[in-house]
Amino acid sequence: MNSEPDDLPASDDEWREQLSDEEYRILREAGTEQPFSGEYVDHEEDGSYVCAGCGAELFDSETKFESGCGWPSFYDVDDGHVETRLDTSHGMRRTEVVCANCGGHLGHVFEDGPEPTGKRYCINSVALDFDE
């Protein structure tokens, strides 16, 4: 796992070498893991969730909540660590969430989360690592 932009893989082949097949499918090809299958769906430890591709801090465990959607959900993000993009795939109009450091696909954000933000960052477990 890398943490500095200069250390990021420079090519698709380098990403394939660094990531598992499933991490590559999700982070680099905007895939989605099966609901309720991810390692962090029911995870409740204190710490930080970081990008599995580059190690950038993304979410604090204090912002994680049970949404019932089948993926880890957070109501807030570490400022400046994610970017959003319009996603019109699969005939839907959604807001994709990507790592601001490496551009890896993390999941989507919806406007049906709890206060204080009203947001639900619905994130693939495979796109995350956990630091205590």
Q: What are phi and psi of 24, to 5 degrees?
A: -65, -45
Q: Which of 54, 99, 102, 122 is catalytic?
A: 122
Length of the chain: 132
**Distance, first Cα to last Cα, the chain:** 16
Residue 122 known to be catalytic: yes
CB 30, CB 106: distance < 8 Å:
no
Q: Please tell me the distance from the alpha carbon of residue 57 to that of residue 49, in angstroms, as a whole number.
A: 6
Catalytic positions, written as ranges: 122
